[in-house]
Amino acid sequence: MRDMGHPGRLRPLLRVPRYAPSMRTEIDRRAMAALSGGHLFVDFASGTIPALIPFITARFALGYASAALLMLSVTISSSLVQPLFGLWSDRRGALWLIPGGVALAGAGAGLAAVAPSYALVLALVFAAGIGIAAFHPEGAKFATYASGLRRASGMAYFNIGGNTGYALGAIVTTPLVVWLGLTGGLVAIVPVLLAALVLMRLLPSFAQLQPAPGSRSRPAGDDRRGAMALLGLVIVLRSVAWFALLTFVPLWYVAGGSSKADGNHMLSLMLLAGALGTLLLGPIADRVGLRRTLLVTQALLPPLILVFVFVGGVPGAVALMLVGVCVVGTFGVTMVLSQLYLPRHVGMASGLAVGLAMGLGGVAAVALGAVADAVDLQTALTISAVAPALGVVVCLLLPAPAPAPMLALEPATT
């Protein structure tokens, strides 16, 4: 994929119509900062949940499968239903989903920390996931509007907010829970709710990003559902290992004699490395190609996971951080690919890539939790490395995306 950072380099890739009065050429940085900030806070709420798992596990004396069920609950609601919000976004749009999603995600995650029963915890993290699902397609669509002709760069800015927020969720929540008990999880969510109020006040400015009523969107290219299905399978296989690590890394350290805080610190390092990987792998993908970047990072996952499990120590910690780079750093790559494969349904593409495919991988993590209960955690983590290895084969089958990545606007015909 060619460099998309300079407008002069876009001509071979774009079919910009002669009449495009509503199309900005540069990123609306104020709007993008607000949207990326909203992404940060909604994923901050999401990131608090794996950080809370070891503490909730201890409180209710849960087994590995029950702990994984917490991740499954938020995964089902945040991921599997996200394409439905994407379809809603494509057909009708609903700007209020941006602040509303942030508010629901924060309220669900915060209240889950102090819920008096395991069943209520499951219900609340499920509600938090609904909020996460509601935010992402609408937020991604308006990030596209704010990106103008620099759509790839704009989506990178949008995604860095979410990746950073997810990492900060674990970093901030852990010391608060160590200090205040599980009430600290509720305290950690206060900034999320404040952010929802700020986003509500910004809705009129977001509305101005939409195409003018006299214009219509013209997707340059046809949807390629078969290609999207292959990409979805790659994401599913990648996310099997990812959700297993999100769920079991803190518990792995606890099983080895470390504290819950130590386990969450390693989880935070993995997530922070992933956020930095977004900035690293985006430019690399522009230079060497989206598919090639995805293939190489997918191939690195199995050996890195095995180093973490069987070598441990400093090499294992470094391997875990590189797993974060390979997985989180390619979220933007898979999102752009999905939008290129489904140019007529940008919201649906985001929902499928970030939502459904990731969610199906999260379902598999519960099965790995059952393996951990029946055998041991080391076996479950070892099995998790097999899935991304299969994903390498599927990556080789991905077709080249059509050279039409941008949303173009033209006057509506009568």
Residues paired with 295 in a beta bridge: none
List of residues 6+ apart from 314 with CB closer than 8 A: none
> How confident is the model at residue 283, as a pLDDT?
76
**What superfamily in CATH does domain 7-411 come from?**
MFS general substrate transporter like domains (1.20.1250.20)
Average pLDDT over residues 356-370: 73
Backbone angles phi, psi at 376, to 5 degrees: -165, 170
> How confident is the model at residue 7, as a pLDDT?
41
Q: Kindly report the average pLDDT of the chain as a whole number.
A: 82
> How confident is the model at residue 271, as a pLDDT?
82
pLDDT at 86 over 80: no
pLDDT at 18 over 70: no
Query: What totals of helices (H) and strands (E) does the chain contain, helices first?
Result: 18, 2
> How confident is the model at residue 79, as a pLDDT?
77
pLDDT band at residue 357 under the 50/70/90 scheme: low
pLDDT band at residue 358 under the 50/70/90 scheme: low
Question: Which of 10-19, 284-293, 324-333 is predicted least confidently?
Answer: 10-19
- In whole angstroms, give the CA distance from residue 34 to residue 95: 14
pLDDT at 115 over 80: yes
Report pLDDT digits (tens) over 382-407: 999 999 999 999 999 999 887 644 44
pLDDT at 154 over 80: no
Report pLDDT digits (tens) over 246-283: 878 888 988 888 887 788 788 888 988 888 888 788 77
List of residues 6+ apart from 71 with CB closer than 8 A: 49, 50, 53, 243, 246, 247, 362, 365, 366
- In whole angstroms, give the CA distance from residue 157 to residue 140: 11
- In whole angstroms, give the CA distance from residue 396 to residue 389: 12
> How confident is the model at residue 247, as a pLDDT?
79
> How confident is the model at residue 100, as a pLDDT?
95
Residue type at position 90: D
pTM, whole model, 2 decimals?
A: 0.71
pLDDT at 13 over 70: no
